[in-house]
């Protein structure tokens, strides 16, 4: 039965339901709604299905006042408390009980098949939930009663940890410019800038190395002529080079005016 501290929830409410007195079942065959007086129900009202804990209650109440006419506590479904009939899906047989524990069987029916379907589904869903709760409860008890793994140290048992004694791995050297693994420059060192390209004029200057006297000659080759420049003795050893005042332009081809048409 339901505990006193549990709350009651509503599973389904149907506003129209008919109640019939049914003859006692003479044999083990199933109930048939055709044996009832379907055109003259003994009582009409509403049906409210509630749940308190794992028990569902089918309550037949007055439509206006809500006064309880009868109720059927359901502890399992399908079961003896709610049975279907063999000749219709809109009629059921309920076993109702009073506060004194006395029980009786009555027939109930719905005017619409959708109401009968909702009645059936409400009971099925509730007892699916009850079954799931029972499985969870059983699995919890099995887990508590099973053997537990002892991870504690036994008496005299020790453990050794090697910290910071692992072999250091050589870190890969980051690649330098161009993907080559070049060493970085030493700290504080200076890198000499690359030599600036010598600016040449139209002359190609050839420096003669190894000259220590002022008599060294610098030879300039322009392609059309060779110019020898002697340094000024009164000036710096490496003075300004003299540049020809003018260059002889190459002879131009005479234009054949006869082949051109003047506009």
DSSP state for residue 75 in the 8-state scheme: S
pLDDT of residue 255: 52
pLDDT of residue 177: 53
- Angle at alpha carbon of residue 162, lines to 159 and 163, rounded to 5°: 125
pLDDT of residue 4: 57
**Rg, C-alpha atoms of the chain:** 57
In this structure, whether the domain defined by 8-138 belongs to CATH 3.30.1490.270 is answered with no
pLDDT of residue 134: 87
pLDDT of residue 33: 92
User: What is the full per-residue pLDDT of the chain (263 aa) written as tens digits?
Assistant: 555 557 889 999 999 999 999 988 777 778 899 989 999 999 999 999 999 999 999 999 999 999 999 999 999 988 889 999 999 999 999 999 988 889 999 999 999 999 999 999 999 999 999 999 988 888 865 555 556 666 776 777 777 777 765 555 555 555 555 555 556 666 655 555 666 555 444 444 444 444 444 444 444 444 444 444 455 555 555 555 555 555 455 555 555 545 555 54
pLDDT of residue 228: 47
Rounded to whole angstroms, the Cα distance separating 110 from 34 reads 14
* Claim: this prediction has a pTM higher than 0.85: no
Q: Which of 127, 33, 121, 136 is nearest to 76 (CA)?
A: 127
> In the chain, what are the domain boundaries?
8-138, 203-240
pLDDT of residue 158: 77
64 sits in which H/E element: none
57 with 72: CB under 8 angstroms?
yes
User: How many other β-carbons are positioned within 10 Å of the β-carbon of residue 255?
Assistant: 8
């Amino acid at each position: 039965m339901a505990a006193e501290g549990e709350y009651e929830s509503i599973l389904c409410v149907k506003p129209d339901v008919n109640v019939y007195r049914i003859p006692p079942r003479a044999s083990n065959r199933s109930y048939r709604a055709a044996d009832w007086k379907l055109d003259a129900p003994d009582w009409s009202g509403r049906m409210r299905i509630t749940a308190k804990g794992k028990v569902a209650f089918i309550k037949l109440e007055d439509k206006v006042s809500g006064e309880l006419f009868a109720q059927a506590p359901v502890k399992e479904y399908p079961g003896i408390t709610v049975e279907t009939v063999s000749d219709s899906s809109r009629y059921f047989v309920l076993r109702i009980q009073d506060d004194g524990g006395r029980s009786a069987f009555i027939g109930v029916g719905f005017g619409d098949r959708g109401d009968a379907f909702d009645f059936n589904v409400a009971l099925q869903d509730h007892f699916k939930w009850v079954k799931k709760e029972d499985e969870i409860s059983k699995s919890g008890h099995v887990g508590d009663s099973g053997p537990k793994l002892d991870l504690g140290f036994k008496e005299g048992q020790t453990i050794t940890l090697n910290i910071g004694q692992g072999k250091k791995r050589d870190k890969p050297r980051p690649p330098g410019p161009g993907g080559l693994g070049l060493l970085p420059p030493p700290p504080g060192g200076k890198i000499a800038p690359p030599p600036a390209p010598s600016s040449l004029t139209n002359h190609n200057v050839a420096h003669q190395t190894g000259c220590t006297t002022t008599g060294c000659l610098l030879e300039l080759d322009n392609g059309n002529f060779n110019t020898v420049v002697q340094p000024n003795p009164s000036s710096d050893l490496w003075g300004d080079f003299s540049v020809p005042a003018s260059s002889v332009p190459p002879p131009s081809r005479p234009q054949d005016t006869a082949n051109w048409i003047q506009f």
